[in-house]
Amino acid sequence: MGAGVRAAGVPRDDVIVPSKLPGRHHAYDEALAAVEESLYRTGLDRLGLYLVHWPNPIQNRYVEAWEALVAARERGLVREIGVCNFLPEHLDRLQRETGVRTVRRTLPNFRKWAGIRQFGSVRRGQRGASSVSNGAGTAGCRRCGPYRRTDARSEG
């Protein structure tokens, strides 16, 4: 990938290559190592966007992972950082405990789950459990409030 970016003939800052941190690497040192491994594998000097893939609440180390991404950004390894699949309470905790607000976030594609959720809601804690059918055949998220998105596009 790095060779392709260099051969493209466009300014490096115009090319945004994203990557995500898997939930199994939320420990601070592992998160930094994952960013460095992403750089090594892509052959790039920095990534345009690095996201915490999901909060992985069972491990409850997403704040630690976020702190590692903040450090990676400060070291110039990534240009922007953000999160995916975080609920408002996760976002609030990140800001409260680190003082760093995420400006890039994505939420699950609720439309994908609409057909499944029409037959009954999934209990919290199960895979994809934050959205439920609103009874009108479309999915919505009762818990996301102002953070509600209906697709996986990042905002920022």
Phi, psi angle pair for 17, to nearest 5°: -105, 115
Distance (Å) of CA 65 to CA 2, 22, 60, 127: 25, 10, 10, 21
Calculate the average pLDDT of the chain. Answer: 75
Give the model confidence (pLDDT) of 14-46 as tens digits: 888 999 999 999 999 999 999 999 999 999 999
| More confident of the two residues 116 and 16 | 16
Structure tokens belonging to residue 12? 């490096």
- Strand ranges for the chain from DSSP E: 18-21, 47-52, 78-84, 105-106, 132-133, 139-140
pLDDT of res. 97: 95
pLDDT band (50, 70, 90) for residue 117: very low
| More confident of the two residues 130 and 39 | 39
pLDDT band (50, 70, 90) for residue 69: very high
pLDDT of res. 118: 40
| More confident of the two residues 138 and 123 | 123
pLDDT of res. 50: 95
Check whether 147 has a pLDDT greater than 60.
no
Check whether 107 has a pLDDT greater than 70.
no
Check whether 145 has a pLDDT greater than 80.
no
Mean pLDDT on 79-108: 85
pTM of the model: 0.67
Mean pLDDT on 82-96: 91
pLDDT of res. 12: 86
